[in-house]
A = this chain, B = another copy of it.
């Protein structure tokens, strides 16, 4: 493919305009300003303007900077997997599931590890749903087991086996020290050890989850901020039908 280089845009194509802010452990003054400028230059910015600098006390200085990025990215070279799913609504999902799949879909959901943030998972699973879009519990063709917060991966897998789940839905919100990555990876390892990885659809969600990250970690799909339940339901149904060889 033809290369397609892009640069940031302020008000003129390829002007490279960028805004930065950060703190340096340097006393406010000319040296701090020059240090900020050099740092930005070492980040491939030119025309660096220190538009604000403020003493934060204790020998720290805060900066707001504008500059022009000299780098460009070739987007013809970028291939990002995107969740492939139709945009069915609840009614369509139910009808198609009923007619084509002919059985109920069972899912197990949990916030794993020490994560106690249930709001995102509940938004997908609970009756009430999210932004006026009903949650999976409300779907006649879904059976939902929501295990809630701080669930060890072992418990989650055991439950999935117990109810013979079609899919596992994991939520991870806390990302400090990349705890979400280890939690998510450990679950894949567990499922593989149980020989279950291929027979179950594995989904991750959370504010820092993207589909590409999820796929990289060995998941079938990932859902980030703003996800509504019908997207997840549509994806699941399509995937299950696909696995049965039914293409829609």
Contact = CB atoms under 8 A, between A and B. Distances in A.
A44 interface: yes
A26 B6 contact: yes
Contact of A23 (B10, B29, B34, B72): B10
A208 interface: yes
A49 B209 CA distance: 11
B8 A39 contact: yes
Interface stretch (A13-21, A97-105, A128-136, A143-151): A13-21
A238 interface: no
Contact of A31 (B30, B69, B71, B75): B75
Contact of A80 (B6, B33, B39): B33
Contacts of A6: 24-26, 35
Contacts of A44: 42-44
B49 A71 contact: no
A141 to B, nearest CB: 29
A78 interface: yes
B82 A29 contact: yes
B38 A78 contact: yes
Given A20-B18, A44-B44, A80-B34, A13 B39 contact: no
A8 B30 contact: no
A104 B207 CA distance: 67
A29 B17 CA distance: 21
B69 A43 contact: yes
Interface in A58-102: 60, 69, 71-73, 75, 78, 80-82
Contacts of A9: 22-25, 60
Contacts of A13: 25
A187 interface: no
A121 B33 CA distance: 24
Given A6-B24, A34-B80, A38-B73, 8 more contacts: A7-B24, A9-B60, A13-B25, A29-B80, A29-B82, A30-B82, A31-B80, A43-B44
